[in-house]
């Protein structure tokens, strides 16, 4: 698989990412993974640049991971938290962004509960010809591209740790199980896994996976999706012979109505457990973007099984992948100049 030259200033969605661009991110992340294994885990790539984390919605791992990634690249980092900010005094989101722009921000990492906010800020930054790059760190139900890219990297590493590449994902069966309707992680993963040539199967109760969801998704695609996305309203057919299972959190904060009889019943029907992964390939591995509702979407036993669970690897890989994104957006020259 060949890399593509990088020419994006913003990463808002993975919908139009080509396989070659995904590979560029993977290979850049490989270089940064190597940097992170050194005694001195820092390179000067973003020295003198300011990265601002604008998180209008709570986050544990994504915010910390972007902060560490920026620091490992020697950037100066500003963190915005809405509770203690002038938003509580009525300042608009765009004015908040412009305040950080006036402080010399070069890259904005944005999370918001409403879909479209990172895109709106990116458009304003372009309109003002600021040269600022915007990274979507999760917007509403829309997308969470850095999570899907770290998931992709984790899959590639699990398949071929010596030579991770999206080429190894071709034809692999990946089951995505859980609250697909409310998951921005699932949406970003659908784009990247499909572009990588994986065979994606979705499983959830019909209230969390409406009929026609996959067809509508494929119909929206700006690129050719080489394989159909298959949806199931039962767990077993999705798990059958799967190479990987991605479990998703029940997003209770986004459920307007009662979409499930009870968490216990949900776990009985769709909870991924050590017993149920017997339907999968013997070497199956399980992922979860976190935070996890233990014993609901995944059993504690499976989550903590070091032979099956890639959940800690996802968190570790997140730093290298986010370094790759910050680097590509600001420097844009692939993997040159990482020594030092
Ligand atoms: N951390 C992920 C997100 O922000 C997944 C989740 O919250 O369930 O979308």
Q: Alpha carbon of 331 to those of 136, 213, 324: distances in Å?
A: 18, 37, 10
Work out the number of other CB atoms within 10 angstroms of the CB of residue 147. Answer: 25
Domain pair 19-143+316-331 / 145-314, same fold: yes
CATH code of the region 145-314: 3.40.50.1370
CATH number for 19-143+316-331: choose from 3.40.50.620, 3.40.50.10140, 3.40.1280.10, 3.40.50.1370.
3.40.50.1370
Does this model's pTM top 0.85? My answer is: yes
Per-residue pLDDT tens listing for the chain (340 residues): 778 889 999 999 999 999 999 999 999 999 999 999 999 999 999 999 999 999 999 898 999 999 999 999 999 999 998 876 676 667 789 999 999 999 999 999 999 999 999 999 999 999 999 999 999 999 999 999 999 999 999 999 999 999 999 999 999 999 999 999 999 999 999 999 999 999 999 999 999 999 999 999 888 888 888 788 999 999 999 999 999 999 999 988 877 677 888 899 999 999 999 999 999 999 999 999 999 999 999 999 999 999 999 999 999 999 999 999 999 999 864 444 454 4
Indicate which atom in ligand 1 lies nearest the CA of residue 61: 1
Domain ranges of the chain: 19-143+316-331, 145-314
Q: Whose CA is nearest to atom 8 of ligand 1?
A: 249
Question: Does ligand 1 lie within 6 Å of residue 10's CB atom?
Answer: no
| Distance in Å, CA 247 to ligand 1 centroid | 11
Q: Are 219 and 284 in contact (CB under 8 A)?
A: no
| Distance in Å, CA 337 to ligand 1 centroid | 33
Q: Whose CA is nearest to atom 1 of ligand 1?
A: 290
């Amino acid at each position: 698989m060949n890399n593509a030259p990088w020419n994006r200033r913003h990463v808002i969605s993975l919908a139009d990412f080509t396989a070659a661009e995904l590979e560029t991110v993977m290979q850049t992340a490989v270089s940064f993974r190597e940097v992170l294994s050194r005694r001195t885990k820092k390179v000067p790539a973003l020295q003198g640049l300011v990265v601002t984390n604008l998180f209008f919605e709570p986050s544990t791992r994504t915010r910390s991971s972007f902060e560490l990634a920026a620091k490992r690249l020697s950037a100066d980092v500003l963190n915005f938290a809405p509770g203690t900010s002038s938003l509580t005094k009525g300042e608009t989101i765009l004015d908040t962004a412009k305040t950080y722009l006036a402080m010399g921000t070069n890259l904005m990492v944005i999370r918001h509960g409403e879909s479209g906010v990172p895109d709106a800020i990116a458009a304003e930054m372009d309109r003002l010809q600021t040269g600022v790059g915007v990274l979507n760190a999760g917007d509403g139900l829309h997308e969470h591209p850095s999570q899907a890219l770290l998931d992709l990297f984790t899959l590639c590493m699990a398949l071929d740790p010596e030579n991770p590449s999206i080429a190894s994902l071709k034809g692999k069966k990946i089951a995505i199980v859980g609250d697909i309707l409310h998951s921005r992680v699932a949406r970003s993963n659908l784009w990247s896994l499909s572009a990588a040539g994986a065979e994606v199967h979705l499983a959830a109760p019909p209230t969390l996976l409406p009929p026609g969801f996959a067809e509508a998704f494929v119909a929206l695609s700006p690129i050719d999706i080489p394989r159909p996305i298959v949806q199931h309203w039962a767990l077993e057919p999705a798990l059958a012979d799967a190479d990987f299972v991605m479990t998703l959190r029940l997003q209770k904060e986004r459920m307007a109505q009662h979409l499930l009889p009870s968490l216990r019943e949900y776990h009985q029907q769709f909870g991924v457990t050590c017993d149920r992964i017997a339907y999968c390939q013997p070497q199956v591995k399980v992922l979860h973007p976190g935070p996890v509702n233990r014993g609901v979407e995944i059993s504690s036993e499976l989550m903590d099984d070091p032979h099956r669970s890639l959940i800690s690897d996802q968190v570790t890989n997140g730093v290298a992948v986010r370094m790759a994104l910050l680097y590509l957006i600001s420097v844009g020259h692939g993997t040159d100049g990482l020594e030092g």
